[in-house]
Amino acid sequence: NSFCTLLRAARKDPSAMDEEEEELMPFEGIEKSAVLQECREFSAVTINSRKCSETIVRVLYLLSTGHTLSANEATEVFFGGTKLFQSENEKLRRLLFVLLKDLSGVAEQVFVASSSLVRDINCPKEMYRCNAIRTLRKVTDSTMVSTMERFLKQAVVDKDNAVVSAALVTGIHLSRVQPEMVKRWGPEVSEVAKNRGNRAQYHALALLHQVRKNDRMSVLKLVKQAREGPIRSPLALCLIIKLCTELMQEDFAASSELYSFVNNMTHHSSDIVVFEAAKALASIRGISDKEIQPAVLVLQLYLNSHRSVLRFSAVRLLNRIATHHPGVVASCHLELESMIHDSNRAIGTLAVTTLLKSGGEFNIDRVLTVISGFIPELPEDGKMVIIDALKILAAKFPDKYPSLIGFLNDALGEDGSADLKLVIVETLVSLIKTNRNATELALFRLCEYIEDCEYNAIINRILTVVGEEGPNTSNPNKYLRYINNRIVLDKPAVRVVGVATLAKFGAANAALRPRVRSLLARASNDTDDDVRDRATFYAKVLASDDEYVIRSLITNVAGEVARAREKIDRAPASLRAAADATDVAEVSAVAAATAAKEAAANADSPSRAGGAAAVVASAELQSLRDRLRKIPQLRELGEPLHSVEPQLVTEGDCEYVIALVKHIYSNRIVLQYKITNTMDNASFKNVVVQTDVSELEVEPLFAIPVDTICPGESQCAYVVLEMEPETFPAGAITQSCTFALQEEGDDEVGEPEEFPVDEAAMNVSDYIAQLPVPDFDAAWDALAEQETSETYALDSMQTLTEAQNTVVDFYGMSVVGGKPGTVTTRSHVVKMSGSVALETPVTVLVQARVFISADQKVALTLSLRCENEVLRNFLCEALVS
């Protein structure tokens, strides 16, 4: 915006240009060499303000559109620009300040402009003084910054608020390189915070916080002084609320005064202060319904505002609060229902999802009826948001599955794209996985839908689910008609899946085997080779009546493939012995499993590559990965892209010992809890692990409990989280374990009790597998054009060894040369390599140089090289975020 303003100021007559011309860039196609030639105008004896202004704008345009100037070019333009201080034209002077700031990072010896800037600081014109103060910081380095102190200290106590704000903002920047100097301004800055205008108050508080932020007691004192002082600035109040929130997050139980202050701010006359206070209360973990209720009541008033932005802000906050405090938000249902048909579709969508989150079991049917009339008006992305919100509702009220399935079935019947239909189908599938009571009704609705479905991928997905879940229902026979219809009526791509689904029914239920074989015999005359061959193969397998062969080749192919892979990798001799054995069934199973392995590798090489571990996993981790394949809901996810070694989340000598393993998939995270019963005479019953992942940007999908853990036995419980593809959610995981005890010889089971489990965390290192690179330097040079590099000041680090170990632990990569030792020099470079768990794994190389900077502080230069620029930037920024 400021650039456009300056651009218009340099034109002769901007008002004469019509709207169409205004949108065109006036310097499109200009060349750098021509602009640099025009910069000679700066050295003319008589300064032409108009020409010089236009030239400066051209230079700024080049810089803003990605053009770079060499050090010599930038220095020449910079020194030419300093001659324009002779002109008294205000527009030219403003442009000059912008030019000097933009070139200061490239040009050499820029400090020579400081004398001209000091002259402007002492002149009576406000505009000159403010801009000169801001620019002076850019043209002086850390060794010369002390010479600025006198001018900045004078500006802090200036009678002009704009000058004071400029000095304070400059102080905020300087506090990162000269914190001790800025701390000496404390009395003057505190006085500004008490007695100056709104903007100056805000900047003064920001500066005070910047220099005290590492001292909790100082921050508490600052907040107390600010609460008691005459703070009029809404922005300053918002900053104080943010500080209060940080302190309350650390220890909410001991922050009653801070809570009272933030709660009172929900009644402030400024809307931004009210929303900041409400957002602060909503973000506090562990806050009770009673403590959050005042914020909800205030937000409820905003739901009737005539301004769309206020309604949107209020309903968005209520949507967030409803996730953890649905009962409190229930009081807003009347207003939320009236907002469903708001002219702003975003507001209507948020109102619907908030109703779904906060609705009680008694009014779910009414809410779904209201929503059903609203959904057709929404765009498809809005419909997907609402459908996704139904998963939460299904988990909260499992007994309401008939209403939810009916609603989803109606949505399937509406017009929509394949993506929307797939989202609805996946919601029904998740309902089947998490609520066994809903299985038969949901399967029946899905089978009805495929009779008229035009999307092959969706039909295949539904047939796969029917093959997994249908054989376990009370009347599996009724699904055979729907499957056979697809084999008879659909395209070959669907018929192939239909044949495999039929075979699963025959494999799981011996009573259905004759009918399934009859249907497969008809399919063996199909015109398509693949359909015909599969039907013939499955019919012969079922005719063998050998349960081991049937299970190995039809229902547990993935498990047999994994077992064969393990045999080949770990014990090739035993595999050769199996080939010579007389057990025909065993030979057949191994041969088929090997063929299936090769077919899977040819069909899905990216997935196979992603599942391969960069470093050989421990035997315990490999054993725990094998357990995933035995769970139907997890087997369909495929192989994990990466698994983290087990981490104890309880004491090792407890009656219950829990180890956490994190499995990373392309869009899922599976938390596997290995629970060991160390008691001698009691079993654990109905073992459930509860997790709070509100800090992560993930959506909990479902949990898999354990029925019984006998004495001395270990079993696994699971929690499945959904994340956006190619993201790396990080944050704390709060968890607990609930189970009941049953003494040996006692038929009665005790009451379920909640047992504590240590907090865990998802870290960036959880998404990175160690990957040793034989020739690191050669690999590094090969990626010379694909590098991201940043330098950071590590003020909190005391030694280079501490900084080095922090970087190594943060990324969890393989370190060249092995585990790093103590750093005894003033500079040290650590080289690391790893593979990031994406659908197509990405190898990342890192060089981290830790050193002592000129101001005797620990610093880090971090360089990353890989083919994915977005990934490089994320890994670089994540270290300091």
Rg over CA atoms, the chain: 34
Please give the Cα distance from 300 to 294 (Å, whole number): 10
- Structure token digits, residue 466: 């029917």
Instruction: State residue 591's pLDDT score.
Output: 39
Are residue 870 and residue 775 in the same domain, yes or no?
A: yes
Q: Which of 185-194, 297-306, 478-487, 577-586 has the lowest mean pLDDT?
A: 577-586
Q: The domain that contains 203 carries what CATH number?
A: 1.25.10.10
* Domain of 73, in residue numbers: 1-108
Query: How much is the average pLDDT of 804-833?
Result: 87
Are residue 720 and residue 754 in the same domain, yes or no?
A: yes
Instruction: State residue 275's pLDDT score.
Output: 94
Please give the Cα distance from 470 to 729 (Å, whole number): 35
Residue 409 in this model has a pLDDT that exceeds 80: yes
Please give the Cα distance from 551 to 560 (Å, whole number): 9
Confidence of residue 688 (pLDDT cuts 50, 70, 90): very high
Residue 881 in this model has a pLDDT that exceeds 90: no
Confidence of residue 307 (pLDDT cuts 50, 70, 90): very high
Residue 13 in this model has a pLDDT that exceeds 50: no
Q: The domain that contains 853 carries what CATH number?
A: 3.30.310.10
Amino acid (1-letter code) at residue 442? A
Please give the Cα distance from 182 to 381 (Å, whole number): 50
Closest CA to 237 of 229, 251, 321: 229
Three-state DSSP at 644 gives coil
Confidence of residue 113 (pLDDT cuts 50, 70, 90): confident
Query: How much is the average pLDDT of 511-528?
Result: 87
Q: Which residues of 26-45 are buried (b: 16+ CB within 10 A; e: fewer)?
A: eeeebeeeebbebbebbeee
Please give the Cα distance from 304 to 339 (Å, whole number): 9
Are residue 677 and residue 777 in the same domain, yes or no?
A: no
Per the model's pLDDT, the better-predicted residue between 144 and 323 turns out to be: 323
Residue 607 in this model has a pLDDT that exceeds 60: no
Residue 242 in this model has a pLDDT that exceeds 70: yes
Query: How much is the average pLDDT of 426-436?
Result: 86
Are residue 175 and residue 255 in the same domain, yes or no?
A: no
Closest CA to 384 of 358, 355, 429, 418: 418
Residue 253 included in any domain = yes
Closest CA to 585 of 625, 639, 532, 545: 545
pLDDT tens figures, 30-49:
888 898 898 988 888 888 89
Please give the Cα distance from 607 to 636 (Å, whole number): 13
Residue 877 in this model has a pLDDT that exceeds 80: yes
Cα 590–chain centre separation: 42
- Which of 762, 789, 804 is a domain's end point? 762
Per the model's pLDDT, the better-predicted residue between 622 and 91 turns out to be: 91
Cα distances (Å, whole numbers) of residue 693 to 29, 511, 875: 51, 45, 22
Element (H, E) at 256: helix 256-265
Are residue 848 and residue 775 in the same domain, yes or no?
A: yes
Residue 422 included in any domain = no
Please give the Cα distance from 363 to 68 (Å, whole number): 62
Query: How much is the average pLDDT of 219-235?
Result: 78
Confidence of residue 745 (pLDDT cuts 50, 70, 90): confident
Residue 183 included in any domain = yes
Residue 19 in this model has a pLDDT that exceeds 50: no
Are residue 187 and residue 244 in the same domain, yes or no?
A: no
Closest CA to 640 of 617, 657, 658, 673: 617
Instruction: State residue 844's pLDDT score.
Output: 93
Which stretches of 65-125 are DSSP H helices? 71-82, 90-103, 114-121
Q: Which of 147-151, 256-260, 338-342 has the lowest mean pLDDT?
A: 147-151
- Which of 214, 244, 262 is a domain's end point? 214
Share of the chain above pLDDT 90, in %: 18
Element (H, E) at 659: strand 656-664
- Which of 762, 794, 820 is a domain's end point? 762
Query: How much is the average pLDDT of 541-568?
Result: 75
Query: How much is the average pLDDT of 634-659?
Result: 87
Please give the Cα distance from 796 to 150 (Å, whole number): 29
Are residue 144 and residue 248 in the same domain, yes or no?
A: no
pLDDT tens figures, 363-385:
778 878 877 777 777 788 888 88
Q: Between the ranges 316-320, 346-350, 382-386, where is the mean pLDDT highest?
A: 316-320
Q: How many domains are contained in the chain? A: 5
Are residue 657 and residue 758 in the same domain, yes or no?
A: yes
Are residue 776 and residue 828 in the same domain, yes or no?
A: yes
Question: 484 and 467 in contact (C-beta within 8 Å)?
Answer: no
Instruction: State residue 671's pLDDT score.
Output: 94
Residue 417 included in any domain = no
- Structure token digits, residue 826: 């003033």
Instruction: State residue 571's pLDDT score.
Output: 47
Question: 350 and 328 in contact (C-beta within 8 Å)?
Answer: no
Residue 740 included in any domain = yes
Are residue 786 and residue 816 in the same domain, yes or no?
A: yes
Instruction: State residue 601's pLDDT score.
Output: 39
Q: Between the ranges 621-630, 720-729, 744-753, where is the mean pLDDT highest?
A: 720-729
Mean pLDDT, all residues of the chain: 83
Are residue 194 and residue 259 in the same domain, yes or no?
A: no
Residue 652 included in any domain = yes
Question: 265 and 238 in contact (C-beta within 8 Å)?
Answer: no
Residue 222 included in any domain = no
Enumerate helices (H) and strands (E) in the chain, giving the number of each: 42, 17
Closest CA to 461 of 423, 413, 431, 512: 423
Residues 6 or more apart whose CB falls under 8 angstroms from that of 230 comprise 194, 195
DSSP-derived secondary structure letter, 553:
I
Residue 359 included in any domain = no
Confidence of residue 596 (pLDDT cuts 50, 70, 90): very low
Residue 546 in this model has a pLDDT that exceeds 90: no
Are residue 148 and residue 82 in the same domain, yes or no?
A: no
Q: What are phi and psi of 790, to 5 degrees?
A: -140, 155
Cα distances (Å, whole numbers) of residue 101 to 62, 63, 70, 139, 355: 15, 12, 16, 7, 51
Please give the Cα distance from 646 to 640 (Å, whole number): 15
Instruction: State residue 463's pLDDT score.
Output: 92
Q: Supply the pTM of this predicted model.
A: 0.55
Amino acid (1-letter code) at residue 577? A
How many Cβ atoms are within 10 Å of 153's Cβ, its own excluded? 16
Q: The domain that contains 648 carries what CATH number?
A: 2.60.40.1480
Residue 610 in this model has a pLDDT that exceeds 80: no
Query: How much is the average pLDDT of 466-488?
Result: 88
Query: How much is the average pLDDT of 529-543?
Result: 89
Closest CA to 74 of 52, 101, 95: 101
Helix axes 557-570, 584-603, angle to 10 degrees: 90
Q: Between the ranges 265-269, 555-559, 793-797, where is the mean pLDDT highest?
A: 265-269
Instruction: State residue 617's pLDDT score.
Output: 61
Looking from the CA of 835 toward its CB, the CA atoms found within 13 Å total 21
Per the model's pLDDT, the better-predicted residue between 399 and 862 turns out to be: 862
